[in-house]
Chains A and B, each alone.
Chain A
Amino acid sequence: MTDKNLNLDHIIPEDAREPSLVPAPAAALASLVVPGLGQALTRSVRRGLILFFSFLTVVGLILWRFTLAAPRDTGWWDIFKKGLYLDPFLIVVSFLFAILYLWIAFDAYSLARDRQNTPLGVFVFLAIMFFALGWQIGKINLYSFVTNADEALPALGRVGWPWEKAISYESVIFQAEADIEIPCSETPPAVNVVTDEPTLVSSPTCGILSVQEGEPGSELHLEGYNFSPGIEVNIMWKDPIGNEFRQRQGGKYVIIIPDENGYFETDIIMPYRLLPPSATEPTYIWNVFARQVAERGKAKLSDDFKKIVEKMIETIFIGMMATFFGIIFALPVSFLAARNLMSASWVTLLMYYLVRAILNIIRSIEPIIWAIIAVIVVGLGPFAGILALVLHSIAALGKLYSEAIESIDPGPIEAIQATGANWLQTVIYAVIPQIVPPFVSFTIYRWDINVRMSTIIGLVGGGGIGFLLIQYIRILDYRSAGMCVWFIAITVAILDYVSAEIRARFT
């Protein structure tokens, strides 16, 4: 000590100035027997307790994770071996645990040697230990995250750019038919002439039908012209009384895809007759026809798109109605929750605490929970969503309003009273001008929140676009779900901008 003026002993804590009760090796040994005991013996009781209970917690968590990793094994050693085998990360955890155990002993040792130097290393390591446990409990697996990331791409692509689904085309039916005479007479129907229109040509144009458990019918060679290329064509029949049915061949419906010129050809066996073989039939004309449904008409907005727009509008109005009712109920409540108005007597003060407590409880329960309850009461649909949001809005707005009332400047009230104004005039000219701007600002902000919330509320059946979104996700229609997401994002962005603009005007 060369500089006697610089004596800092008095700022060192009382307990740190006393020497350790035991020598350093004994302290280390004590901490090996009971972690933290060594620290306690060096007079750092609080440190010892923290380390002891932290160590116990770590031991408990590790035991839990091992039994969870090896649920079918009995006996600690078997569980340990199986656990390490099934979940290799537990090796890291065990290794860190061993270091922690030794470090606590080492901490006791160094603490006993130098009481005024309290190293923090053991606590840093404790934090690392908990981090490793958290990694294991959270089943964090960066490997699968990286290697399987590409599997999300198709879905992400559809969600990211879903607009193909926004447009659909009117379907156009191309159809051509040929008359078939049953059975053949001397003058079978004329063969169709190929024109610019879709045309079906059959050769021959007469034959006999197949008979159940008997002779197969005649074979027809069909040729189609001027159909839409690349789109399925169904071959169908129409009997004389107007029944339509599809041609089967080898147990399957006949479906042909025309080539790039719109031409196709196929051979078919004529279908079964519907009457029993004994019944005699006169000569009839049946029609064989080819039908193609092509989406080649005018582009129009798809039904999904229209539905999403409708539900988006519904969502905005759910938010609006919830805000509206929220305001109506929150206004009176906010006066009861304003301390400066309610601190006059103990009765009003009690009411203040009661109202505040109720508001806090309602506010701390998420709207999604309220929505589930509301769905039970009023059933699925927008009304349930409105109810849930109203409850939450009352609590949130009540609190914000009351804080606005609490923060008004008493100066103008005093000044207006001094002019001889009565109570009503004082409220109108000194109180209301001060609370209207924050009220408007909070209300607009709440509307913004309510619209955003109502998309979530929809997930549990509270109406609006969320309801639609969860359905699209469940049927794996990622494009439609993507459109919902886009609409929600656009609406929220617009609303955010508008509410910020309005709020800026009122401050």
Chain B
Amino acid sequence: MEKENEILCILCKNLRKLLEKTELAYDKLNELRLRVHEPLIAVYDGREYFIGEQGGLVRERELAYRLSEADIKDTLELISNYSLYAYEDEIRQGFITVEGGHRIGLAGTVVAEQGRIRNVKNIYFINIRISHQITGCALPVLPYIRDADRVYHTLIISPPRGGKTTLLRDMIRCISNGDGKNAGMTVGVVDERSELGACYRGMPQNDLGMRTDILDCCPKVDGMLMLIRSMAPQVIAVDEIGSIEDIEAIAYVIHCGCRIFATVHGMSIDDIKNKPVLRKLVEERIFERYIVLKNSRHAGQIESIFDAMGNRLYDSNTRREAYGVCG
């Protein structure tokens, strides 16, 4: 019910009525896609449907409700809480995070100035990605990323939409809270795109554990250094590393004695080795564990786990599938 309210309150009157007429289990709703003059699309339980003119999920395009310019404008007004100006930075990055941690992707006409994005105007494409935190999805990987006295530097490698952020989020929660055998650790999260904590007005909407400090909307490099100076974390977590500056900041974090959890886009360790910037990470054995995800059947399948030397510690083909996460 809470999720339903969070979604309905950011939709304009027309769309709200349509969704109220549609019987939806909001836990299964993945995305709502709004495009001007095009049908309203819902990705529900992993499948794409249209929302009908009279409400309900339909497969026929002719029966679908087509979005007007006013629908998009009014919805955008509600998404931004009537204050587009307050989300200038987020709009420049192409998304806004709303209450509940749901991520609203925006596209329109980009206003560029001296090669840099200044703003996005005429926003007529909106993608509402419904946040689903999967509590417990990191439990199967915990034995591989920590032992009695330490946590390993861990890199999650996954293709886009492979579930790496969901897995990282739960790893943070588990390490932060601890359990009967392992004490909880202080975790610092640099959440550059508000995906991990999904902070709304600074308050995390996802559970990242009781010993977690979050730097929201902060550039990764600056954030990692700030956390070390100010919050004395034992573990630092960052999402989607890729630039040379990120790698240098990670090296600094490790030299400071912190453990690091990070994610990167890729298909395998070899794929990472082929990327000039990231190759250094593997060759210098900066990370002690590599978790490779695949999304062949569903997002979040753990394909394999490697150690720093490249030895396979877990293989989904020879052992049972570790866990399913999505997102």
Q: Do A and B assemble together? A: no
